[in-house]
């Protein structure tokens, strides 16, 4: 949440901005990512919040607002699902433990989870179009390990960042997410008040595509110049002609309780935090979204809820539920592995720490990377058929996105979203698609 002084300044500059802001408790933490790896166990751990219809496939034809029986989010009408990678602390002995998530400011006593915003944007009270049933999107690239500094003429460059909080927070809480002293990389020092992740989704839609294969190209960020002090929550600008429909701005804020590691923090100045995909930089932070609001409830909220601070109780269009009701809505993990609560010898999945600056690669032949997923007794959880423990990737020849170029050596990258290099492997190797982001010569 913004610090009080930042809110006062923001209110003075951007008066009458419609916002809803609410906490969501943890639904489940496990290696599921039904957008990037539907039907199989994900390469790395995610924390999921929202409706309890969440499952390993998330059929786009299913109306999750009707099949979910509860939600971990503050509004009863919101059965959407929101998920991100998680953060681990690497002990000096080489073991890992998940960094707990704690409630954000003024969201109640949520059990883990994170905060979600929907903002109608600026100018005040402009008309926005709520997402339709079946809409999904992702933001961020888990494989990148470097990123250019934010550019004022690039709204997107301010969209994913971290805030290092002091204790007390003081000036470290006096700017909106993505503005002020936020960094694109994980903070390079101990943060006594915790670290807040900020993930801001694009807000311009092509008006027709619910979920393209890359889960991103149907959305775009506003055009315009960014005020670095204010970030892009109230960004002024126009949608590009290719994506003319203005939607609510969706934001995630995740608060990581790094304070408890004070006595274990390295004395040599090294950075001990690593994201669940083996990313010690933080540049690979990413978020996924599946729409699941009941009927026209989100559209009504965007049209009629004019509280600029986003207080849930101020939005009379929606039904507020209690902390206890949110915290009772849980799923049992379906992947047979331990991912939190104890020190682990390695990150779950096959995720060696890769510092970059080159993009991360997926190691081949990693034992235990694809455990069995089983059903639980939770009647709202979709039954998951066990996946084979043998390699589950399929050898494919990806469509080249650039001239074939020189042959790629074994274990080198040969494809993936945005890949512009060679797609031809050396003799004896084939290009294996490991996920939408990365293909490797094996």
Please check whether residues 289 and 424 belong to one and the same domain: no
Please check whether residues 178 and 277 belong to one and the same domain: yes
In order, the DSSP letters of 123-137 are: STT----PPPTT-EE
Instruction: Compute the distance between CA of residue 353 and CA of residue 361 in angstroms, rounded to an integer.
Output: 10
The per-residue pLDDT for 181 is: 86
- Determine, yes or no, domain membership for 195: yes
- Determine, yes or no, domain membership for 246: yes
Please check whether residues 423 and 282 belong to one and the same domain: no
Residue ending a domain, among 328, 358, 388, is: 328
Q: Which residue has the higher pLDDT, 5 or 259?
A: 259
- Determine, yes or no, domain membership for 350: no
Instruction: Compute the distance between CA of residue 35 and CA of residue 307 in angstroms, rounded to an integer.
Output: 33
Q: Which residue has the higher pLDDT, 3 or 46?
A: 46
Instruction: Compute the distance between CA of residue 414 and CA of residue 431 in angstroms, rounded to an integer.
Output: 6
Q: Where are the alpha helices (DSSP H) in 285-374?
A: 297-304, 323-328
Q: How far is CA 148 from CA 85, 283, 357, 358, in A?
A: 21, 10, 11, 13
Number of compact structural domains in the chain: 2
Question: Could you check whether the bond before residue 357 is cis, i.e. omega within 30 degrees of 0?
Answer: yes
- Determine, yes or no, domain membership for 312: yes
Question: How far is C-alpha 298 from the geometric centre of its chain's CA atoms?
Answer: 20
Residue with tokens 């953060």: 87
- In this prediction, what percent of the chain has a pLDDT beyond 90? 64
- Determine, yes or no, domain membership for 107: yes
Q: What is the mean pLDDT of residues 417-442?
A: 70
- Determine, yes or no, domain membership for 352: no
Around Cβ 225, how many Cβ atoms within 10 Å? Answer: 12
Residue with tokens 């060679």: 422
Please check whether residues 124 and 247 belong to one and the same domain: yes
Please check whether residues 195 and 57 belong to one and the same domain: yes
Query: pLDDT-based confidence at 391, cuts 50/70/90?
Result: very low
Please check whether residues 147 and 248 belong to one and the same domain: yes
User: Which of 148-162, 176-190, 379-393 is predicted least confidently?
Assistant: 379-393
Residue ending a domain, among 302, 328, 354, is: 328
- 258 three-class SS: helix
The per-residue pLDDT for 364 is: 74
Please check whether residues 89 and 205 belong to one and the same domain: yes
Q: What is the mean pLDDT of residues 246-262?
A: 95
- Taking 80 as the threshold, does the pLDDT of residue 356 lie above it? yes
Query: pLDDT-based confidence at 336, cuts 50/70/90?
Result: confident
Residue 29 near residue 339 (C-beta atoms within 8 A): yes
Around Cβ 344, how many Cβ atoms within 10 Å? Answer: 17
Residue ending a domain, among 328, 357, 391, is: 328
- Determine, yes or no, domain membership for 361: no
User: Which of 253-262, 293-302, 315-324, 365-374 is predicted least confidently?
Assistant: 365-374
Q: What is the mean pLDDT of residues 50-70?
A: 96
Instruction: Compute the distance between CA of residue 58 and CA of residue 400 in angstroms, rounded to an integer.
Output: 29
Instruction: Compute the distance between CA of residue 416 and CA of residue 424 in angstroms, rounded to an integer.
Output: 13
Residue 401 near residue 423 (C-beta atoms within 8 A): yes
- Taking 80 as the threshold, does the pLDDT of residue 122 lie above it? no
Give 173's DSSP letter.
G
Q: What pLDDT digit, counting tens, does each position of 272-312 carry?
A: 999 999 999 999 999 999 999 999 999 999 999 988 789 99
Domain ranges, residue 306 = 19-328
Please check whether residues 437 and 296 belong to one and the same domain: no
Please check whether residues 157 and 290 belong to one and the same domain: yes
- Determine, yes or no, domain membership for 407: no
- The torsion angles phi and psi of 289, rounded to 5 degrees, stand at -140, 130
């Amino acid at each position: 949440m913004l610090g009080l002084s930042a809110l006062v300044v923001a209110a003075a500059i951007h008066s009458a901005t419609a916002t809803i802001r609410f906490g969501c408790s943890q639904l489940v933490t496990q290696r599921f990512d039904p957008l990037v790896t539907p039907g199989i166990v994900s390469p790395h751990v995610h924390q999921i919040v929202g409706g309890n219809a969440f499952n390993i496939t998330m059929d786009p034809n299913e109306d999750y607002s009707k099949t979910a029986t509860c939600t971990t989010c503050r509004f009863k009408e919101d059965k959407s699902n929101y998920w991100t990678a998680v953060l681990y602390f690497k002990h000096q002995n080489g073991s890992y433990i998940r960094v707990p998530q704690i409630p954000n400011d003024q969201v109640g006593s949520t059990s883990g989870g994170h905060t979600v915003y929907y903002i109608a944007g600026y100018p005040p009270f402009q008309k926005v179009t709520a997402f339709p049933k079946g809409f999904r999107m992702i933001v961020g690239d888990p494989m990148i390990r470097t990123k250019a500094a934010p550019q004022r003429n690039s709204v997107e460059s301010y969209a994913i960042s971290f805030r290092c909080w002091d204790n007390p927070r003081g000036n470290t809480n006096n700017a909106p997410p993505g503005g002020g002293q936020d960094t694109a990389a994980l903070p390079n020092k101990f943060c006594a008040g915790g670290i807040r992740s900020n993930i801001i989704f694009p807000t311009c839609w092509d008006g027709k595509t619910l979920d393209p294969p890359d889960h991103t190209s149907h959305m775009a960020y506003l055009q315009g110049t960014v005020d670095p002090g204010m970030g892009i929550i109230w960004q002024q600008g126009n949608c590009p002609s290719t994506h003319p429909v203005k939607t609510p701005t969706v934001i995630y804020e995740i608060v990581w309780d790094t304070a408890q590691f004070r006595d274990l923090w390295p004395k040599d100045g090294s950075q001990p935090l690593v994201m669940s995909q083996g990313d010690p930089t933080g540049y690979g932070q990413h978020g996924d979204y599946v729409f699941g609001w009941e009927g026209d409830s989100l559209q009504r909220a965007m049209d009629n809820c004019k509280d600029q601070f986003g207080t849930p109780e101020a939005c009379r269009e929606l039904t507020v539920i209690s902390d206890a009701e949110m915290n009772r809505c849980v799923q049992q993990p379906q992947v047979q592995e331990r991912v939190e609560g104890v020190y682990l010898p390695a990150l779950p999945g096959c995720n060696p720490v890769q510092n970059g600056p080159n993009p991360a690669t997926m190691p081949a032949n990693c034992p235990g990377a694809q455990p069995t997923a089983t059903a639980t007794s939770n009647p709202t959880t979709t039954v998951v058929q066990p996946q084979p423990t043998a390699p589950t990737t399929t050898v494919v020849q990806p469509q080249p996105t650039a001239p074939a170029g020189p042959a790629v050596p074994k274990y080198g990258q040969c494809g993936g979203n945005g890949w512009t290099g060679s797609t031809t492997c050396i003799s004896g190797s084939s290009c294996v698609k490991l996920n939408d982001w990365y293909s490797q010569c094996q």
